Chains A and B, each alone.
Chain A
Amino acid sequence: SYELTQSPSVFVSPGQTASITCSGHKLGDKYASWYQQKPGQSPVLVIYQDSKRPSGIPERFSGSNSGNTATLTISGTQAMDEADYYCQAWDSTTAVFGGGTKVTVL
C-alpha cells in the first residue's frame, strides 16, 4: 500500500521559516494537500493541489511538490502556527495521510 512519510517534529524560532516535508513514491505525480490541526480541534486545510491556499489562510503558508517530496513552508512563523501538520494524497481511489509533523515554535 502507498505510504507518505513525515518527520515527527520540527522546531522553529518565531519569525523564522519552518519546512515540513512529506515523502512518497512519485508523490510529485500526484496532488498533495496539507492540513493543520491544533489540540482539541478538527483539521483545517492550509494547502491544496500542491501550492494553492484556501481563502483565509495566511500568505506565509506555501507549498511545493516535486519528485518524491512535497513541502509545506511556513515563512515568518508565528506562535499561533504551533500545531500538527498532515500531508495527504490519493493513490488510485484511496486517500492516504502522512503520519503528521508536530511544529513547535520556541
Chain B
Amino acid sequence: QVQLVQSGAEVKKPGSSVKVSCKASGGTLINYPITWVRQAPGQGLEWMGGIIPIFGTTNYAQRFQGRVTITAGESTTTTYMELSSLTYEDTAIYYCARESSGTGEGWFDPWGQGTLVIVSS
C-alpha cells in the first residue's frame, strides 16, 4: 500500500522560495496524479495544483499560477512542489496526496504527513 512521505519543516524569509518533496513508499506514483494542498494555521484546506508524474503534465489553481511549480522526479516515485515569492501568508502546512481515481478529477487518498513551512524574517 502506497504511503506518501514528505520532506521536513522549512523556515524561509519573505521573497524566497521553498521546495517540498513527496516520496511514494511501497509503490510508485506512475499512473496516479499527485495533488498539493495547503492549510494555513487554523484555516481550511486549499488546493494548489497537481501533476501526472508519468507525463509531467500539470494543473495549477489560478491563484497560484506563476508562483507554484510542481514537478516529478525521473523515477516517478517523488514529486516536488516549489512556491516562490513567499510572503507571511504562505505560512502553512503543505500536503501532498494521491488522486486515486487516476482521472485527475477524483478523490485524494492517501495523504502525506504534511510539511510545515514558516515564512519569517
Main secondary structure of the interface of A (DSSP, over half): strand
Count the A-B residue pairs with Cβ separation under 8 angstroms: how many? Answer: 61
Q: Which listed residue (A31, A90, A97) contacts B44, Cβ 8 A? A: A97
How distant is the Cα of A62 from the Cα of B107 in the complex, in angstroms?
16
Q: Is the CB of B107 within 8 A of A43?
A: no
Number of interface residues of A (CB under 8 A): 23
Q: Is the CB of A95 within 8 A of B35?
A: yes
Within 8 A of B (CB), among A11-67: 31, 33, 35, 37, 42-45, 48-49, 54
Whether A97 touches B45, Cβ cut-off 8 Å, given contacts A1-B62, A42-B111, A44-B111, is yes
How distant is the Cα of A52 from the Cα of B13 in the complex, in angstroms?
43
Q: Is the CB of B111 within 8 A of A33?
A: no
Binding site for A on B (CB under 8 A): 35, 37, 44-47, 50, 59, 61-62, 95, 97, 100, 104-114
